[in-house]
Amino acid sequence: MLELKNVSFSVNDGDAKLDIVKDVSLTIPDGKFIVITGPNGGGKSTLARLIMGIENPTSGQILLNGVDITGMTVTERAKMGIGYAFQQPPRFKGLTVRRLLSLAHGNELPEDQCCSYLTKVGLCSRDYLNREVDTSLSGGEVKRIEIATLMARELNVAIYDEPEAGIDLWSFTMLVDSFKAIMANRKESIVIISHQERIMQLADEIVVIADGAIRNYGPKDEVFPKLMNEFDAGCTFRGNEG
């Protein structure tokens, strides 16, 4: 179980203090599938980075299975089973897809297992195994490989930061299927930051974050209809259905 207790994060913008995340408290039980959504610039990605330890909260506490991890490094949190898929994954000259997946897994992955992860994210595996994760791959390819690196790990909490961003329509359909498959076999809690209705539809619970704070939080069946009404009424952030 992942718990956020009164987590705030602010940065200094010149003389002014800018509050990015404001007093967020959230409990994510084991095995739940949570979608965090809300307008751009609302603090969603920062919240994910706070959970992974890439940023440290200005105040508040983060607990994993009752252990206070607020002061822990990214490495320590990773070892405790937190995984994070970057919105814009970095590229590595010289590292092959197979090597990256093996590094994620912690030891050398057999070829068929690598292939199965790649197939799940819609990549024809044999073409990709020995390719370098460098600029020769498209943005969409790198994103899918990024998702595969999380599949290759044994996790307690998997965080995906806008997995759909930069992925074409065809791949998106496959991505939704992958998340369905992940959901069906999941042991870990899954937190996905997304603007996509079709991903929200998969969620157990939806958290709406706007202006750094939780605006709405509850079971999908409660939150989702409200969200749609709210944004149909005047806002434009409703995603295009893939």
Partner 1 sequence: MEKIDLSMLQKIADIGSIPSVGAYNIRKNGAGVERRSTENVEIVTKTDKPGIDIKIKPGVKAEKVHIPVIITEEGVNDTVYNDFYIGEGADVEIVAGCGIHNSGCQTSEHDGIHRFFIGKNAKVKYVEKHYGEGEGTGQRILNPTTQVFMEENSYCEMEMVQIEGVDSTIRDTDVHMEAGAKYVVLEKLMTHGKQKAESNMIINLNGKDASAQIISRSVAKDESEQIFKPTAVGNADCKAHVQCDSIIMDSAKISSVPAITANNADAQIVHEAAIGRINNDQLLKLMTFGMTEEEAENIIVQGFLA
Q: Which of 33, 86, 160, 217 binds partner 1 (CB under 8 A)?
A: 86
Q: Which residues, 133 to 172, sit near partner 1 by CB under 8 A?
A: 149, 153
Q: Which stretch binds partner 1 (CB under 8 A): 7-15, 83-91, 118-126, 218-226?
A: 83-91
Confirm or reject binding of residue 224 to partner 1 (CB under 8 A).
no
Long-range contacts of 229-238 (CB under 8 A, 24+ apart): 235/39, 237/38, 237/39, 237/40, 237/195, 238/197
Confirm or reject binding of residue 228 to partner 1 (CB under 8 A).
no
Residue 213, strand partner residues: 210
Confirm or reject binding of residue 121 to partner 1 (CB under 8 A).
no
Q: Which of 1, 63, 78, 210 binds partner 1 (CB under 8 A)?
A: 78
Q: Which residues, 55 to 74, sit near partner 1 by CB under 8 A?
A: 73-74
Handedness of CA 67, 49, 3, 17 (dihedral sign): positive
Write down the least CB distance from residue 92 to partner 1, Å. 6
Applying CB under 8 A, what is the total number of residues that bind partner 1?
25
Write down the least CB distance from residue 180 to partner 1, Å. 24
Confirm or reject binding of residue 129 to partner 1 (CB under 8 A).
no
- Write the CA distances from 226 to 69, 203, 230, integer angstroms: 34, 15, 6
Q: Which residues, 31 to 60, sit near partner 1 by CB under 8 A?
A: 52, 54
Q: Which stretch binds partner 1 (CB under 8 A): 91-99, 109-117, 178-186, 192-200?
A: 91-99
Which residues in this chain contact partner 1 in the complex, by CB under 8 A? 52, 54, 73-75, 78-79, 82-84, 86, 88-95, 99, 103-104, 106, 149, 153
